[in-house]
Chains A and B, each alone.
Chain A
């Protein structure tokens, strides 16, 4: 029972480079989310998806793109990395929103942009 799997766990990027953070879940959850956590701050929502083919912006979407071609996968794309994108990124999933049910989070990707 893998839950939510994120790869890579760590990455160092140079300014202007691009990369894709991978996220996969095996729980058949409809909803998937990408959050970032900056030091001393709470998690902030970047993008979310309510099902395959449907994505929407969260609180801090600038500089990122997502796609949801399958229920299982929800990759996050950084096109032109900037130092402000240095953060820990968490992917999460849930059956549905609007309830007290919690999300299942991945273990995170620590990204440094230099």
Chain B
């Protein structure tokens, strides 16, 4: 039961351009959405989150957009840098539930 889906296993962009990573979910009870970044041989690290009462949250070069009606969120990275190359996981949870659901991840490669 894949409640959080990242349909693009990989994405390649040029340094300085925008990276857009997408995520879809099926459970309407989710009320928090998070993005994690993972480098090889390391655990995921928290990047940015958004509450379901918002449609946008920005932190420096990273912006997350939430479209509740479409059950879709996206992560924008502008400008992209080679150090952003990693696997990005989308995650979702319900405030009353301890089970955070993760997508399968998108591998981002930023080319110099």
Contacts and interface: CB of A to CB of B under 8 A. Distances in A.
Interface in B15-32: 32
Interface in A51-103: 56, 58-59, 90, 92, 97-103
Contacts of A56: 98
A42 B95 contact: no
Interface of A: 4, 31, 33, 35, 40-45, 48, 50, 56, 58-59, 90, 92, 97-108
29 contacts: A4-B43, A40-B104, A41-B104, A42-B2, A42-B4, A42-B6, A43-B44, A43-B89, A43-B102, A48-B99, A56-B98, A58-B99, A59-B99, A97-B95, A97-B98, A98-B32, A98-B93, A99-B95, A100-B34, A101-B46, A102-B34, A102-B36, A103-B44, A105-B43, A105-B44, A107-B41, A107-B43, A108-B42, A108-B43
